[in-house]
């Protein structure tokens, strides 16, 4: 048994299965992918990685399996799925997600499933008597135990919220031990005992806090979108091949983008390296626009590029230096987390918590459309960009 020191969980224990999996190149690559992408541009301590988080998810999956008294084979599959759920992430974590979508037609979850279907990972699993197909189902969130790995209140979310809070210094309160110990396996999947409603509420409040303070922080978004822009220029210009994206880590991506000199990719990457970022010139609540128009814009890179080109023409600058940032519409999947009442009836958590119902409304307060421009154009941008946005989206 291998003991790994961890600042969140103290000691994480890896048996032979866990040790053999973490030694694989696909897992070791996660050491070089920042959990929060460009979060360290705002929070200098946020240099933790997908590797640490994966170990934390493995640990919590083991604790949950013990609390649920799962059979050994089920427990091993759940832990393996928790450890492997992030192997498909690209450079700078979620920064690569829209690139995967547009250039590969896949998500990072799709790539994680592919890694479980051939190569070293399924070979290690089979050698230890673990069915790779079962692990893949768990990563997808399928089956009675799937929601423990990818569900409403899963070990992935439990670990990353506490871990991200620790490394950013954003103070939160989550009772992980209570959550894990009060999980129940029902015919509908994993649920929480009614006695742990407060712990579940704490988790949801924490998620809202972290989205407001970290995940949707304007400067974090600027850094991510600039790197995405650099990648698009390099990919469109043939300087980087789309199929190479899933093999990259942050170091490789940074090096390659710095040397993509046929386009402006190198210039943008250098600007991020030196923290010479675009400025947010306009920031509007999404409620000011039609939701159907915003949803379509969020899902379409071509629509965003057309809007950016129009704003750039009005400002007299290159479309390369204008970014219209439209995060995906906010979703609080934990709303459908199940609660086992003392009567034995299973209900959704928002049926018994007015706080959770309120959070569903509150999360939309942090859903903002932003226009990012060079510093020299920041003062002029609101008067130029505002009418264009209104014409297309209002």
Q: Which of 295, 282, 316, 292 is nearest to 389 (CA)?
A: 282
Please provide the DSSP assignment of 332-387 as one string: -GGGG-EEE-TTS-EEEGGGT-HHHHHHHHHGGGG-EEEEEE-GGGTTTHHHHHHH
Q: Look at residue 158 and tell me whether its pLDDT is greater than 90.
A: yes
Model confidence band, residue 332 (pLDDT cutoffs 50, 70, 90): low
What pLDDT is attached to residue 205? 85
**Mean per-residue pLDDT of the chain:** 93
Between 377 and 202, whose confidence is greater? 377
What pLDDT is attached to residue 394? 85
Model confidence band, residue 365 (pLDDT cutoffs 50, 70, 90): confident
Model confidence band, residue 45 (pLDDT cutoffs 50, 70, 90): very high
What pLDDT is attached to residue 92? 97
Q: Look at residue 164 and tell me whether its pLDDT is greater than 80.
A: yes
The Cα–Cα gap between 255 and 208 comes to: 34
For residue 175, how far is the Cα from the chain centroid? 22
**Collapsed DSSP state (helix, strand, coil) of residue 19:** helix
Least confident residue range of 135-149, 249-263, 273-287, 349-363: 349-363
222-257 pLDDT, tens per residue?
A: 999 999 999 999 999 999 999 999 999 999 999 999
Phi, psi of 283 (to 5 degrees): -140, 115
What pLDDT is attached to residue 378? 97
179-226 pLDDT, tens per residue?
A: 999 999 988 788 899 988 888 888 888 888 898 899 999 999 999 999
What pLDDT is attached to residue 335? 58
264-310 pLDDT, tens per residue?
A: 999 999 999 999 999 999 999 888 899 899 989 998 999 999 999 99
Model confidence band, residue 130 (pLDDT cutoffs 50, 70, 90): very high
* Tokens 């850094």, residue located: 223
What pLDDT is attached to residue 207? 86
The domains found in the chain, sorted by start residue, are 1-169+217-277 (1.10.3210.10)
Q: Which residues fall within 8 angstroms of residue 354, CB to CB, at 6 or more apart?
A: none
What pLDDT is attached to residue 331? 62
**Collapsed DSSP state (helix, strand, coil) of residue 38:** coil
Model confidence band, residue 334 (pLDDT cutoffs 50, 70, 90): low
The Cα–Cα gap between 136 and 114 comes to: 9
345-351: long-range contacts (C-beta < 8 A, 24 or more apart)?
346/186, 346/188, 346/191, 349/152, 349/192, 349/197, 349/200
Q: Look at residue 352 and tell me whether its pLDDT is greater than 60.
A: yes
What pLDDT is attached to residue 304? 95
What pLDDT is attached to residue 338? 86
What pLDDT is attached to residue 151? 83
What pLDDT is attached to residue 153? 82
Predicted TM-score of the model (pTM)? 0.94
214-229 pLDDT, tens per residue?
A: 999 999 999 999 999 9
Least confident residue range of 83-92, 137-146, 301-310, 341-350: 341-350
Q: Look at residue 333 and tell me whether its pLDDT is greater than 60.
A: no
299-302: long-range contacts (C-beta < 8 A, 24 or more apart)?
299/328, 301/98, 301/102, 301/232
48-94 pLDDT, tens per residue?
A: 999 999 999 999 999 999 999 999 999 999 999 999 999 999 999 99
Q: Look at residue 351 and tell me whether its pLDDT is greater than 90.
A: no
């Amino acid at each position: 048994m291998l003991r790994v020191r961890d600042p969140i969980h103290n000691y994480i224990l890896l048996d032979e299965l866990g040790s053999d999996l973490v030694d694989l190149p696909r897992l070791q690559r996660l050491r070089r992918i920042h959990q929060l992408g460009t979060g360290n541009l705002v929070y200098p301590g946020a240099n933790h990685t997908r590797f640490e988080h994966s170990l934390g998810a493995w640990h919590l999956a083991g604790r949950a399996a013990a609390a649920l008294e799962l059979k050994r084979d089920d427990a091993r599959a759940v832990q393996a799925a928790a450890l492997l759920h992030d192997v498909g992430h690209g450079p700078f974590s979620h920064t690569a997600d829209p690139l995967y979508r547009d250039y590969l037609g896949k998500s990072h979850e799709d790539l994680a499933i592919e890694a479980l279907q051939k190569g070293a990972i399924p070979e290690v699993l089979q050698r230890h008597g673990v069915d790779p197909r079962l692990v893949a189902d768990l990563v997808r969130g399928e089956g009675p135990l799937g929601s423990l790995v990818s569900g409403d209140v899963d070990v992935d979310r439990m670990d990353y919220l506490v871990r991200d809070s620790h490394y950013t210094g954003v103070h939160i309160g989550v009772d992980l031990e209570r959550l894990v110990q009060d999980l129940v396996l029902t015919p509908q999947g994993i649920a929480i005992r009614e006695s742990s409603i407060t712990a579940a509420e704490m988790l949801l409040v924490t998620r809202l806090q972290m989205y407001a303070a970290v995940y949707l922080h304007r400067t974090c978004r600027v850094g991510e979108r600039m790197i995405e822009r650099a990648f698009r220029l390099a990919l469109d210009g043939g300087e980087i091949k789309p199929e190479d994206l899933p093999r990259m880590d942050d170091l490789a991506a940074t090096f390659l983008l710095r040397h993509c000199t046929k386009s402006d990719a190198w210039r943008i990457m250098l600007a991020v390296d030196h923290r010479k970022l675009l400025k947010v010139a306009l920031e509007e609540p999404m409620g000011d626009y039609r939701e159907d128009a915003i949803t379509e814009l969020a899902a379409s890179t071509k629509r965003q590029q057309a809007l950016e080109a129009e704003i750039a023409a009005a400002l007299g600058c290159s479309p390369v230096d204008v970014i219209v940032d439209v995060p995906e519409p906010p979703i609080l999947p934990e709303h459908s987390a199940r609660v086992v009442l003392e009567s034995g009836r299973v209900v959704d958590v928002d049926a018994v918590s007015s706080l959770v119902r309120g959070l569903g409304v509150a999360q939309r307060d942090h859903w903002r459309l932003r226009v990012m421009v060079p510093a020299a154009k920041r003062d002029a941008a609101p008067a130029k960009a505002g009418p264009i946005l209104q014409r297309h989206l209002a």
